[in-house]
Structure 1
Amino acid sequence: MLRYLFGPGKNEEHVNPRLVAAWSGPDYLSSLAPPLRPSGRHDVRNLARLLEQPVRAGRNPPQKFVWHASVRNHITDRILSDSQWAHIATEMVAAVGIAPHGDPDAVRWVAVRHAHDHIHIVATLVRQDGATVWAWNERLKAQTAARDLEQRYGLHQVGPVDRTSHRRPTAAEQNKTRRQRRPEIPRDRLRREVRATAAAATDENDFISRLQAAGVLVRLRYSTIHPDEVTGYAVGLPDHRTSTGDTVWYGGGRLAPDLTLPQLRRRWEPGPGTMPRVNAQDPGRPRHQYRSTVFRQATAAADEGAHHLAAQRDTDEDGIAALAEAAADVLASTARAFEGRKGGPLTNASETFDRAARETHWRHPGRLHPATIQLRSMSRLISTVGRLTNEDDAVAALQLVLRLSMIADNLANLRDAQKRIHQAQAARQAAESLRAITEASRSLPAVQRTAAPPPTPPRQGYPKGRAV
């Protein structure tokens, strides 16, 4: 670790690597600093030996005893001095509990700076009195300390953790995707597929059937107390396997917080009020005309929802949450109609909007607003009318996209009022992306005709047992 931090980096990006803080205080930094060799590289052996001394003398030290964290400023922040970074490092190690203020027997640690916008903190997890330190929940503690330091130094405010973001692909997943030359990380593909399917499905049976029709493997989890009760699910891809040939499974919660089976069941509940009946297609009416009518109905519902969201954002948070979720489903279905399973800019905007619409806990609204009920129906209906095939379809769909950008703008104001900075930023980003897509699409020629998707399979009960 030290050789890397004091080295040139992977692309010669490390400039003037140096110690800015250490466990021994500022007076000893010069004696701890690794000297330069004739080759121009730093000799870190003595510093490594000093850091490891408590580990070698400790009582039953852990095998993995190195703790590492990087602390980075936002791109818009001013450049901090070495002394300011030293104070930040000291606050961080104290906040996570490995080197509390005023504890002379705490672990040994150093802070290395080799760029203007960040530092690296390296510690060994054995105290100088021989006891091992376990940094429990250090990520949350470090993030809490970072929010405090942002205010104290007048830096960019990131906002508190709201637990609504989905899990990002790990480094191992990204490396495996590159090795296998996949166009997309399996976790991301599955999350998009499950989200679009959930927006189109009417219940659990329909959800499972649609996933199977899309080529997604599904494995159900059953209760250990009531063997016939389904308590969860996992999904996988037929060609995504481990080195031993087993399918790599992702539970709904590993894809996104709102894709667990209990959350999906809540979404499929009809809720108070009656779901409207949508007029069936006239057998003598061209399909594309029916498709345009569906998008126009959805646009009217989105317009009503946008105005309701603007007028009621401070009084009915539960109802607004239901409306935002319904709008996210409509956008997911529209993106699938526009871009298909491979996705594109509208699909990316849909992912961003969904991030803004998620809630930190379950919402139990009273009587749903009519626009929410209508949007829920429209998301399912849009998923059944197939891909866009002509300019009339595209124009009608773009009008819907523009109205959904208004909902995103108003949702951003709600998130600001709730002090949920991450989701407010996601809502604004989604609104800007949707408007940019609308403007760009207006200058394009008519939508090229595409083949209609295969019909939705008949609803079936899901079997019990192994993957289907």
Structure 2
Amino acid sequence: MIPKIAARGTYVRGLLRYLYGPGRREEHTDPRLVAAWSTAPPLAGLEPVRDASGRLDVQRLADMLEQPTRMGVRAPPRPVWHCAVRNHASDRTLTDAEWADIAREMLAGTGLAPHGDAQAVRWVAVRHADDHIHIVATLVRQDRQIPRCSNERWRAQGTARRLEARYGLRQVGPADRTAHRRPHSVEVNKAARTRRAGTPRDELRRRVRTAAAAARGEADFFDVLRRGGVLVRLRAGTEDGEQITGYAVALPGVRTAGPDQTPIYFGGGKLAADLTLPKLRIRWGVAPDPGRRPTVDRHARAVALRQAAQAAENAAQAVRDGTAGDGAGVQATVAATADVLATLAAASEGDWRGPLHRAADLFDRAARGRYGRVAPPTSRSHDLRALARLIWLMGRISGDEDGYAALQLVLQLARFADAIDELRTAQQRLHQAQDARAAADALRRIAAGARAPVALTATSRPTPPRTVGGGRRARPGRGTAGR
């Protein structure tokens, strides 16, 4: 069950007209009230009636909801509170009475209408589909006071977890801020118009994470990004102008639409919570120097990949041994192993976002620490990150010997994903457990030969993946600048 609280609104009438209308895609069917505030008249008397044109007239209901705001002292400028509560597609269809109870619990949980408080805010719950309701309230109590509803989103999430258990619905799990920022609709639409395979934010996140896994430290990190074609802008401290406190990155071909045509930069924290410069510094710690650049040949690459596979196997056992707790050492091992997969994807597929890159994205989401925290490095995480850098330095995988070694590493990483699944399930972090299972399945398909992670020859080109809008990626020179 997902409660989604929208931005505060100004007019109740416009929102009610939308909820009682056909919807943007004719998806609203049989709109009706299922619950209202405790002192409200019967629902039948609150329901809008059709006017002479056949449209439902919501003015009377809007006036009743807005009455406290007209009488209130210091009414907020945006007094309309709106929350949509939606079930999972696999859940059973709830009755109107069950949805009414859910609405009352949501209002009580957020503090807007506590149980037994006859002077609470006025609100209604509208149902126009089987799987969700909309709760509309005005943010002035009937005693003319302003309600306290701080942290309403977190409190609504906690209420949803309790309601899932009460009604036997799909368990979503508590929010832990491990998911990366969702791209804005403007980014998605622009990516679709320019026929890009993904948004610039997603592309930059992948490149920055690969560079962080391959770098020995801060200077090396920025050098790897620049050599990879990424624009880098450093931010100096306000007190010490020579101290670097942050960075931002951009793709060369992604620019604003105005006359200036300036690159669109994203700070590390806008890409992911653990990609800020201070947290990257914690991740790197004092990593051992892998020494001079190794001789690059297939045998050397195969040896490095087999070493990484053995290290991943040992790390998986270490994670299983530490599943009962939530120690920083276990989290450091999990995050470092995600770096190994990130560099393996880069060595196998290059800039093409193939199945190994997609598996690395799932693995990364499952491996993140809660609330963007980065665990201090350990000796095991140092070793794993040294191997990740070694894989990156070895270059592209190109033959049978190193290709088979890469498949062995992929299989070990699939088993490591199983260990993450067990760890996150024990920690009740269900979103990440689901991502770990998906990553394990994807890696096993690759290891079984569905798509061997071996670099393609110069005369071969893979079928491009689907774009954001469902089309195909355009050929170079047609809207793909900066790729």
Equivalent residue number for residue 268 of structure 1: 284
Cα 1:53/1:181, change in 2 over 3 Å: farther
Mapped to 2, the partners of 1:298 and 1:156 lie a distance apart of: 38
Q: Kindly provide the amino acid, as one letter, of the partner of residue 363 in structure 1.
A: A
TM-score with structure 1 length normalisation?
A: 0.86
Equivalent residue number for residue 375 of structure 2: 363
Question: Contact (CA 8 Å) 1:241, 1:247: kept in 2 or not?
Answer: yes
> Residue 7 in 1 paired to residue 21 in 2?
yes
Equivalent residue number for residue 46 of structure 2: 32
Mapped to 2, the partners of 1:102 and 1:450 lie a distance apart of: 72
Question: Contact (CA 8 Å) 1:105, 1:129: kept in 2 or not?
Answer: yes
Q: CA deviation at 1:400?
A: 0.8
Equivalent residue number for residue 191 of structure 2: 177
Equivalent residue number for residue 319 of structure 1: 329
Mapped to 1, the partners of 2:255 and 2:302 lie a distance apart of: 42
Structure 1: 5+ residue stretches without partners: 452-468
Question: Contact (CA 8 Å) 2:229, 2:251: kept in 1 or not?
Answer: yes
Equivalent residue number for residue 308 of structure 2: 298
Question: Contact (CA 8 Å) 2:396, 2:455: kept in 1 or not?
Answer: no
Mapped to 2, the partners of 1:19 and 1:399 lie a distance apart of: 58
Q: CA deviation at 1:219?
A: 2.2
Q: CA deviation at 1:391?
A: 3.7
Equivalent residue number for residue 463 of structure 2: none
Mapped to 1, the partners of 2:211 and 2:88 lie a distance apart of: 36
Q: CA deviation at 1:324?
A: 1.1
Q: CA deviation at 1:95?
A: 1.7
Equivalent residue number for residue 386 of structure 2: 377
Q: Deviations over 1:12-65 (max 9, x none)?
A: 222211111112457521111112456654322222232223333434433333
Question: Contact (CA 8 Å) 1:337, 1:382: kept in 2 or not?
Answer: yes
Equivalent residue number for residue 4 of structure 2: none
Mapped to 2, the partners of 1:259 and 1:279 lie a distance apart of: 26
Mapped to 1, the partners of 2:167 and 2:29 lie a distance apart of: 24
- What SS is found at the alignment partner of 1:232? strand
Mapped to 2, the partners of 1:394 and 1:161 lie a distance apart of: 39
Q: CA deviation at 1:306?
A: 2.3
The alignment yields a C-alpha RMSD, in angstroms, of 2.7
Q: CA deviation at 1:301?
A: 1.8
- Pick the aligned partner of 1:430 from 427, 439, 442: 439
Equivalent residue number for residue 458 of structure 1: none
- Pick the aligned partner of 1:125 from 122, 130, 139: 139
Question: Contact (CA 8 Å) 1:336, 1:343: kept in 2 or not?
Answer: no
Deviates more, 1:123-132 or 1:411-420: 123-132
Question: Contact (CA 8 Å) 2:326, 2:427: kept in 1 or not?
Answer: no
- What SS is found at the alignment partner of 1:125? strand
Equivalent residue number for residue 399 of structure 1: 408
Cα 1:215/1:127, change in 2 over 3 Å: farther
Q: Kindly provide the amino acid, as one letter, of the partner of residue 332 in structure 1.
A: A
Mapped to 2, the partners of 1:134 and 1:376 lie a distance apart of: 48
How many correspondences in the alignment? 441
- Pick the aligned partner of 1:410 from 409, 413, 419: 419
- What SS is found at the alignment partner of 1:341? coil
Equivalent residue number for residue 268 of structure 2: 252
- Pick the aligned partner of 1:328 from 322, 338, 346: 338
Cα 1:56/1:237, change in 2 over 3 Å: farther
Mapped to 1, the partners of 2:264 and 2:147 lie a distance apart of: 34
Cα 1:56/1:345, change in 2 over 3 Å: farther
Q: CA deviation at 1:353?
A: 0.9
Question: Contact (CA 8 Å) 1:125, 1:134: kept in 2 or not?
Answer: no
Equivalent residue number for residue 211 of structure 1: 225
- What SS is found at the alignment partner of 1:235? strand
Mapped to 2, the partners of 1:167 and 1:378 lie a distance apart of: 29
Question: Contact (CA 8 Å) 2:209, 2:342: kept in 1 or not?
Answer: yes
Q: CA deviation at 1:446?
A: 7.5
Equivalent residue number for residue 229 of structure 1: 243
Q: Kindly provide the amino acid, as one letter, of the partner of residue 173 in structure 2.
A: G
Deviates more, 1:179-188 or 1:159-168: 179-188
Q: Kindly provide the amino acid, as one letter, of the partner of residue 105 in structure 2.
A: E
Question: Contact (CA 8 Å) 1:275, 1:374: kept in 2 or not?
Answer: no
Question: Contact (CA 8 Å) 2:349, 2:455: kept in 1 or not?
Answer: no
Question: Contact (CA 8 Å) 1:18, 1:33: kept in 2 or not?
Answer: yes
Equivalent residue number for residue 110 of structure 1: 124
Equivalent residue number for residue 389 of structure 1: 398
Mapped to 1, the partners of 2:455 and 2:190 lie a distance apart of: 36
Cα 1:351/1:20, change in 2 over 3 Å: same
Cα 1:184/1:120, change in 2 over 3 Å: same
Q: Deviations over 1:65-106 (max 9, x none)?
A: 322111111222222111111111111122222223333332
Structure 2: 5+ residue stretches without partners: 1-14, 460-483
Q: CA deviation at 1:210?
A: 1.5
> Residue 449 in 1 paired to residue 457 in 2?
yes
- What SS is found at the alignment partner of 2:85? strand
Equivalent residue number for residue 164 of structure 1: 178
Cα 1:223/1:299, change in 2 over 3 Å: same
Q: CA deviation at 1:315?
A: 5.8
Cα 1:56/1:181, change in 2 over 3 Å: farther
- What SS is found at the alignment partner of 1:12? coil
Cα 1:101/1:396, change in 2 over 3 Å: same
Question: Contact (CA 8 Å) 1:388, 1:449: kept in 2 or not?
Answer: no
Deviates more, 1:124-133 or 1:26-35: 124-133
Cα 1:398/1:17, change in 2 over 3 Å: same
> Superposed, which structure 2 residues align to 1:64-143 within 5 Å?
64-133=78-147, 135-143=149-157
Identity %: 51
